[in-house]
Structure 1
Amino acid sequence: MRHQLSLSLIQSGCCELDIDQQWCALEEMLCIAAGQGSEWAVFPELCNLPLDFSLAVNLVQEEELVVCRLKNLAKRYNIWLTGSFGVRDRASGKMRNRLYCLDPQGELRARYDKIHQIRRVNEQQYFVAGEHLVICQTPWGRVGFAICYDIHFPNMFREYALNGTRLIIVPSAIRQHRVDNWQRICQVRALENQQYMVMMSSCGQSEHGGDFSSLAGRSSIMTPRGERLVEAATSSEIVTQTIDLSLVEKARDEYPVLAATAGPLATRFF
């Protein structure tokens, strides 16, 4: 199992109405990341659609088209690729906020649907919620996935850690007024589960972003000790960082929290 991983945060700008133009912008950034020697690139949440969901539902693409594009990108740049993309759910007429993980051969290795929906912005009206945690076996060990609002639910990340994940990738779309809390929560999730957290967000202003018209950027990597290893700025950029995954085992050996985790607990009321 490998320990050193060169990973790129692809902090892209907001998607507007020209979907093809957004795909071109994502590929340009991916090309730069690959040229920097990156082995794994991560895109933000719903990076192929405007975040005004009432517009997105009419622009959303079929899953086959999105996956085909991602397979071609992964093969072309010989890179592991992960990001959250909006795809049409034919059965319901709604969308899926779906994360894809592909390897450098263009093989689809994992697919995760966002489980927890933000009711204040009516995500449940436009998206079908996911039901399962997903773990992918990679050359660097087990990798788990979440999307944005999922970070507020700690049991999800403890379950991942108890199943041996070393790294969790979390594409997000974080608004300006939420970014500080987002980073604090991510640090806690990394620290309490002693694993890396890779946090991605789009950035900038959007004319077609609805409730997400102003996004913060500041994508980050948190270490198993809860330290911020790297943080992007607030504008569009690529941050490539090598992480040492052996720190996961070191942290868990030094302070074996997971080994002491109790099973289901009964509650007594007095």
Structure 2
Amino acid sequence: MKLALAQFEVARANPAENLVRIGERATTASAAGVDLLCLPEMCTTGFDWSYNREHLAAASKIIDAVATIARSHSLAICGSFLEQTESGNAANCFCYFDANGVLLASYRKLHLFTLFREEQHVEAGNECITVATDFGTIAAAICYDLRFPELFRRNTASGAFMHILPAAFPHPRLDHWRTLVRARAIENQTYFVAVNQCGLEGHHGSVDKTQYFGHSMVVDPWGEIVLEADENESLLDIEIDPRSVDQVRSKLSAWDDRREDLFRI
């Protein structure tokens, strides 16, 4: 399975520009034989909540445009997008489109980042989501979810061989990012794909400016970083072998040695 991680500076409150950027990266990834293009958190709008609320009714059309990009490039695409909920609120939603542009699964962010006052703008999800793909079961998470290991435990128990996390992780928490991404891979003996924004964003919640540090990465089931970006915009690709999960677990049986009688997930 060949993955591509699209790390870029999201144009705040400018879906048209972001869709162009996504389309360009899809063109490059498709030409390179990539199977799945992974995008960062809120990659079509950013976090301008006054703009997002005003244009919330158009969120579905933007998501449909991403589906069209997937279909036109015969390329699976996943990332996090603005979505309008059934109650009319905003949600931060992970979507997975297959190479035909079909939405296979959507996941609303469970853990809202109170430091940036996300709970004032976003309706939290209430369901863990995995998606069955041609390559195996893939699990969804978004940004702040990274700090809550029970989500990844639950999704691994549901059969996921890989977790994908679109994010907008900022300085000064790069050490947390690198440590937690590796920890989630090690403790579950799965692949972990974390794709982050980079660049500067203006007023955001409780802070005036936010500097996203990039460092999108892929970690294998041993916990080794097999791909890592720097802080600049990039499109990096890598081939992974889903069978590595079973191979690692056959050598170190930590996943099978869980005490499910005491700790029920």
TM-score normalized by structure 2? 0.93
The size of the alignment, in residue pairs, is 261
CA distance in 2, matches of 1:115, 1:206: 23
Match of 1:239 in 2: 236
> 1:264 deviation in Å?
5.2
Match of 1:224 in 2: 221
CA distance in 2, matches of 1:196, 1:131: 24
Match of 2:25 in 1: 29
RMSD (Å) for aligned C-alpha atoms: 1.7
> 1:263 deviation in Å?
2.4
> 1:208 deviation in Å?
5.5
**1:224 alignment partner, SS class:** coil
**2:93 alignment partner, SS class:** strand
The 3 A distance-change label for structure 1 pair 123 and 101 is same
Say if 2:4 is the partner of 1:8: yes
For structure 2, which runs of at least 5 residues remain unmatched after alignment? none
- The structure showing larger relative contact order (alpha-carbon pairs under 8 Å, at least 6 residues apart) is 1
Match of 2:152 in 1: 157
* Match 1:41 to one of 23, 37, 42: 37
Match of 1:135 in 2: 130
Describe how 1:160-199 pairs up with structure 2 within 5 A: 160-199=155-194
Aligned residue type for 1:140: F
Aligned residue type for 1:185: L
**2:90–2:121 CA contact under 8 A, matched in 1:** yes
Aligned residue type for 2:58: E
Deviations 1:41-94 (A, max 9, x none): 000000111323344323445343133212211111101110000122351x43
**2:132 alignment partner, SS class:** strand
Aligned residue type for 1:170: L
**1:66–1:87 CA contact under 8 A, matched in 2:** no
**2:139 alignment partner, SS class:** strand
TM-score normalized by structure 1? 0.91
* Match 1:148 to one of 143, 148, 154: 143
For structure 1, which runs of at least 5 residues remain unmatched after alignment? none
Q: Which moved more, 1:205-214 or 1:15-24?
A: 205-214
CA distance in 2, matches of 1:77, 1:50: 24
**1:81–1:101 CA contact under 8 A, matched in 2:** yes
CA distance in 1, matches of 2:46, 2:95: 18
Say if 2:74 is the partner of 1:78: yes
